[in-house]
């Protein structure tokens, strides 16, 4: 067979090879310089992560000033809930300028995050249908801090 | 609402892999299925599939070009997709997809180019001006249609189709592997998953081609080739039986083993997925087409052409729904169990959201639009130019 009849196949192969070459050239430009420095990731990313300002404090740090509240939480069913889950992160309370009042959310929505009845939660976990629960007690649903009218957030089983 | 709220228990209430992730294996399956049908003609030399041999390749390409769109929409940072191509981590399953996808795309493009080369040359010679330009570029400057050149083409097509067949199987088997390899989810974690995905892909591919072929024949006012349709109906029935058997075997095994995961999978099937699994996937999508195809295959000689056409058309339509329901039940169903396996949750798809029903419909319409353009550009049923390649 005459080699001339393969010309189109040869040209197609050259095109594919050319595309591969372009890809590898582009790849050489696109790979970040620090990639692979420490492992299969961009080395500079470590510094970028380390430079992100710390927001949350150590859970034990709260006890340094609020020992009484920390002990109360530890003795109740909220023992596993860290302070900064409901209060703002420590750095919003202890700032460069000194101590500022801790922002506190008293909204029922905060309680609902854990205690609104959901099928995905284990049956043994305390869950309620908020609307029914509030209606059953004859309370005002519009009030944001409705839960705190009856429950203590630091030890919720102790009624107020 | 609560900007500093972080670690509440359990935040496991959202289904993150949405309809987009249902659509992704569905479209990829259609790619693989359509290519496997084209292989009946181009690899296995089954002459009865000649009428759809070229069209099935175009279908595969149209869907392949859209296969990643649902994923990119879901990710939200489409530019990051190139990272798996630029720095592929070979211990990552996703990196495998990038490589397989590219490999399969190259094989498919080359095969389509070779299959349509006589047409390309025909149009390059007969069209004038700007209309001829893309065809002239695609000839790569070679207008050789001698018997030797065409023989070389046929040889190359057979090699490419033979390579493309395992590539298509791997491409879709891999999608099943992605789910099958998630060991924390008992609804997904089974080595059967890639095989189930692959078989259902073939079902959806054949079903789509039966529908499009009949539809295009009606549109072009041509007779549907009954040998071709009969052959596809037989394969469709065969692959449907295999697929449904595998799907049921997986559940029977889970049920018979009565491991701890059955405690959550049983209510998942009987409560959360009652409609989509039992009604749609098993009854509407499996039992009814099984009966329709059984009639088509076993009572073939008694059937009038129109009856055969109608039976295969409706069976195919139902099987397309079945395969979509299967993808839905795997992807959404697997996330309906909370990660602690202690409860179930609901999924209510939005309509207009980024990953809602409307974007899903638009994304699914895209390959059909692309196929329309491809069919316009490379008419697969055109006798005048097509005869040159025969």
Q: What is the Cα–Cα distance from A17 to B317, expressed in whole angstroms?
A: 42
| Å between B182 CA and nearest CA of chain A | 20
Contact assignment for B82 to A8 by CB distance below 8 Å? no
pLDDT value at position B96? 80
pLDDT value at position B94? 79
- Residues A16-59 have pLDDT tens digits of 999 999 999 999 999 999 999 998 899 999 999 999 998 998 87
pLDDT value at position B1? 34
B274: confidence class by pLDDT, cuts 50, 70, 90: very high
Residues 6+ apart with CB under 8 A from B154: none
Contact assignment for A27 to B86 by CB distance below 8 Å? yes
Contact assignment for A121 to B343 by CB distance below 8 Å? yes
Smallest Cβ distance to B110: which of A4, A12, A82? A12
pLDDT (average), residues B228-235: 95
Q: Which residue would you say has higher pLDDT here, B278 or B339?
A: B278
- Residues A47-83 have pLDDT tens digits of 999 999 989 988 789 999 999 999 999 988 898 888 8
Numbered residues of chain A with Cβ closer than 8 Å to any chain B Cβ? 1-2, 4-9, 11-12, 15-16, 27, 30-31, 35, 40, 56, 82, 84-85, 88-89, 92, 103, 105, 107, 109-110, 113-114, 118-122, 125
Q: What is the Cα–Cα distance from A47 to B334, expressed in whole angstroms?
A: 38
Q: In A, which residues are within 8 Å of B348 by CB distance?
A: none
CA distances to A8, A90, B378 from A62, rounded to whole Å, are 76, 8, 72
Smallest Cβ distance to B345: which of A31, A35, A120? A120
Q: List A35's β-bridge partners, or say none.
A: A42
Contact assignment for B8 to A114 by CB distance below 8 Å? yes
Contact assignment for A5 to B152 by CB distance below 8 Å? yes
Q: What is the Cα–Cα distance from B279 to B273, expressed in whole angstroms?
A: 9
User: Within a 13 Å sphere around the CA of B56, how many CA atoms are in the beta-carbon half?
Assistant: 28
Numbered residues of chain B with Cβ closer than 8 Å to any chain A Cβ? 1-2, 4-10, 12-13, 82, 86-87, 89, 106, 110, 113, 117, 139-142, 144, 146, 148-149, 151-153, 156, 338, 340, 342-346
Contact assignment for A30 to B86 by CB distance below 8 Å? yes
| Å between B44 CA and nearest CA of chain A | 23
Q: What residue spans of chain B are helical by DSSP H?
A: 19-42, 50-66, 69-75, 83-86, 93-115, 117-126, 133-138, 147-180, 192-219, 226-257, 262-267, 288-298, 305-336, 357-377, 383-389
Q: In chain A, which residue's Cα lies nearest the Cα of B85? A: A27
Q: Which residue would you say has higher pLDDT here, A160 or B384?
A: A160
Evaluate if residue A141 carries a pLDDT over 70.
no
Q: What is the Cα–Cα distance from B285 to B43, expressed in whole angstroms?
A: 30
Query: Of A156, A160, A159, which is closest to residue A75 (Cα–Cα)?
Result: A156
**Tokens at residue A125, please?**
């976990």
> Average model confidence (pLDDT) for chain B?
90
pLDDT value at position B2? 37
Longest alpha-carbon distance in chain A: 99
pLDDT value at position A138? 77
SS3 for B253-290 is HHHHHCCCCHHHHHHHHHHHCHHHHHHHHHHHHHHHHH
Q: In chain A, which residue's Cα lies nearest the Cα of B143? A: A8
Using CB atoms within 10 A of its CB, is residue A91 exposed (0-12), middle (13-18) or buried (19+)?
middle
Q: What is the Cα–Cα distance from B62 to B57, expressed in whole angstroms?
A: 9
Residues in chain B: 390
Q: In chain B, which residue's Cα lies nearest the Cα of A19? A: B106
Q: In A, which residues are within 8 Å of B142 by CB distance?
A: 7-8, 11
CA torsion, ordered B69, B75, B78, B83, to nearest 10 deg:
-110
Smallest Cβ distance to B152: which of A6, A31, A122? A6
The neighbour count for residue B6, using CB atoms within 10 Å, is 13
Residues 6+ apart with CB under 8 A from B25: B172, B175, B176, B197, B327, B330, B331
Q: Which of A2, A5, A92, A147 to mutate to test the interface with B (most CBs of B within 10 A)?
A: A5
> Average model confidence (pLDDT) for chain A?
87
Q: In chain A, which residue's Cα lies nearest the Cα of B147? A: A5
Using CB atoms within 10 A of its CB, is residue B365 exposed (0-12), middle (13-18) or buried (19+)?
exposed
Contact assignment for B344 to A9 by CB distance below 8 Å? no
Place of tokens 């638009």: B362
Q: In chain A, which residue's Cα lies nearest the Cα of B89? A: A40
Q: In chain A, which residue's Cα lies nearest the Cα of B87? A: A31
| Å between A138 CA and nearest CA of chain B | 26
Distance of CA B343 to the CA centre of its chain: 33
pLDDT value at position B389? 47
Q: In A, which residues are within 8 Å of B2 by CB distance?
A: 105, 107, 109-110, 113
Contact assignment for B140 to A114 by CB distance below 8 Å? no
pLDDT value at position B7? 42
């Amino acid at each position: 067979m005459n080699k001339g009849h393969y010309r189109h196949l040869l040209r197609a192969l050259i095109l594919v090879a050319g595309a591969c070459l372009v890809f590898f050239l582009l790849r050489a430009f696109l790979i970040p310089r620090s990639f692979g420095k420490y492992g299969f990731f961009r080395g500079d990313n470590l510094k970028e992560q380390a430079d992100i300002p710390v927001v949350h404090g150590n859970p034990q740090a709260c006890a340094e000033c609020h020992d009484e509240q920390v002990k109360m939480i530890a003795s109740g069913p909220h023992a596993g809930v860290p302070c900064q889950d409901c209060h703002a992160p420590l750095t919003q309370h202890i700032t460069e300028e000194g101590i500022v009042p801790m922002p506190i959310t008293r909204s029922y929505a905060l309680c609902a995050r854990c205690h609104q009845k959901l099928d995905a939660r284990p049956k043994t976990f305390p869950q309620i249908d908020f609307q029914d629960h509030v209606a059953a007690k004859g309370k005002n649903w519009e009030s944001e801090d409705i839960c705190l009218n009856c429950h203590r957030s630091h030890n919720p089983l102790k009624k107020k | 609402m609560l900007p500093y709220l972080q670690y509440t228990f359990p935040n496991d209430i959202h289904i993150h892999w949405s309809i987009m992730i249902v659509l992704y294996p569905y479209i990829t399956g259609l790619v693989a299925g359509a290519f496997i049908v084209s292989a009946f003609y181009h690899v296995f030399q089954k002459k009865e599939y000649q009428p759809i041999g070229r069209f099935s390749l175009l279908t595969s390409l149209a869907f392949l070009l859209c296969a990643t769109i649902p994923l990119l929409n879901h990710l939200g940072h489409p530019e990051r997709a190139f990272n798996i191509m630029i720095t592929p981590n070979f211990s990552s399953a996703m990196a495998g997809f990038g490589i397989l996808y590219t490999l399969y795309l190259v094989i498919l493009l080359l095969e389509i180019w070779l299959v349509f080369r006589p047409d390309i040359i025909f149009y390059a010679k007969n069209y004038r001006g700007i209309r001829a330009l893309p065809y002239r570029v695609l000839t790569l400057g070679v207008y050789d249609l001698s018997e030797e050149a065409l023989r070389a083409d046929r040889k190359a097509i057979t090699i490419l189709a033979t390579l493309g067949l395992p590539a298509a199987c791997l491409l879709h088997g891999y999608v099943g592997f992605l789910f099958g390899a998630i060991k924390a989810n008992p609804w997904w974690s089974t080595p059967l998953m890639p095989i189930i995905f692959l078989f259902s892909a073939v079902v959806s591919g054949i079903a789509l081609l039966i529908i499009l072929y009949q539809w295009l024949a009606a549109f072009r006012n041509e007779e549907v080739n009954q040998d071709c349709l009969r052959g596809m109906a037989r394969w469709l029935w065969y692959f449907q039986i295999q697929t449904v058997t595998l799907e049921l075997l997986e559940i029977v095994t889970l049920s018979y083993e009565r491991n701890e995961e059955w405690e959550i999978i049983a209510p998942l099937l009987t409560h959360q997925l009652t409609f989509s699994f039992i009604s749609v996937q098993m009854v509407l999508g499996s039992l009814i087409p099984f009966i329709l195809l059984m009639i088509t295959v076993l009572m073939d000689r008694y059937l009038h052409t129109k009856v055969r056409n109608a039976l295969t058309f409706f069976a195919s339509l139902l099987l397309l729904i079945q395969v979509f329901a299967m993808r839905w039940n795997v992807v959404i169903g697997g996330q309906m169990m909370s990660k602690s396996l202690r409860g179930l949750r609901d999924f209510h798809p939005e309509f207009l959201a980024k990953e809602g029903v409307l974007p899903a419909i638009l994304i699914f319409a895209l390959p059909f639009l692309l196929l329309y353009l491809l069919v316009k550009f490379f008419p697969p049923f055109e006798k005048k130019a097509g005869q040159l390649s025969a």
